[in-house]
Homo-oligomer: A and B are copies of this chain.
Amino acid sequence: MAQGHRRRVHDATLIEIKQAARRLMAEGGTAAVSLRAIAHEVGMTAPGLYRYFRDRDDLITALLVDTYDALAETLEAARAAHASEHYADQLTQVGMAYRDWALAHPVEYRLILGNPIPGYHAPVAVTTPPARRSLAVFLALLHDAWRDGELTLTDDPAPELEARLAAFRAEAGLGELPLSALQLALATWGTLHGLISLELFGHLDPIIGDAGPLYRAALAAAVAPLHPRR
């Protein structure tokens, strides 16, 4: 109990530190994430942070992992909230949740999918699993739709990709899901990410203002193979 109390205080402070870092990031971009600024935000001095993180990279890694997880949990929740609807509707909801999360957390979105932080090198072993969770939501959805005979695929996968896609399918535990479904998932991810990325960096606003309708239209096209059979 007493020993546990110390640990609990430690864990609470650690969470507080990460929250402060996220707050600074939201205000001033990833460049604002400095140990000194975070310490000041939390109400301590910079060296005190070394009780919680080995060094700056360690702190950034923690932020990365948390962010990957937060995005994935949002997507999982979006699907779960519409689990009784058609797969096409589920995918639409997940796709919209993806953009909504990105718009609500622009700096965090950039942190995980944009330029790397200068001087920071991610320990891929730690970073990759949570990074996969978001893609896994899309893949699981396609897998379930295929299992239930609700996925209509017209094209074959690109021949040069077959071996790689098969390896990834096995690694991701996707059974016999057609490889063209995997390719479709990756291409769709590319489209959604591309539009969001253009939007976040201000490239679409001067052209069409709100990028929402364009995104919705692209998402609708991506969802087509899942439309319920007539």
Q: Which residues of A contact B (CB under 8 A)?
A: 29-31, 110, 113-116, 118-119, 124, 128, 131, 135, 155, 158-161, 164-165, 168, 183, 186-187, 189-195, 197-198, 201, 203-204, 206-210, 212-214, 216-218, 221
Contacts and interface: CB of A to CB of B under 8 A. Distances in A.
A208 B186 contact: yes
Given A160-B210, A194-B194, 4 more contacts: A29-B115, A160-B213, A161-B214, A190-B214
Given A158-B217, A214-B158, A203 B113 contact: yes
A201 B158 contact: no
Q: At the interface, is chain A mostly helix, strand, loop or mixed? A: helix
Contacts of A191: 187, 190-191, 194, 218
Contacts of A217: 155, 158, 161, 183, 187
Contacts of A165: 208
B115 A213 contact: no
A168 B115 contact: no
Nearest to A114: B115
Contacts of A204: 186
B193 A197 contact: yes
Contact of A197 (B118, B155, B194): B194
B208 A164 contact: yes
B208 A31 contact: no
B131 A208 contact: no
A210 B161 CA distance: 9
Contacts of A214: 158, 161, 183, 186-187, 190
25 contacts: A29-B116, A30-B118, A31-B119, A113-B203, A114-B114, A114-B115, A128-B206, A131-B203, A158-B216, A158-B217, A160-B210, A161-B214, A161-B217, A164-B207, A164-B208, A164-B209, A165-B208, A186-B207, A187-B191, A189-B198, A190-B191, A191-B194, A193-B194, A194-B194, A194-B195
A214 B191 CA distance: 12
Contacts of A119: 31
Contact of A118 (B31, B164, B210, B218): B31
Contacts of A207: 135, 164, 168, 186
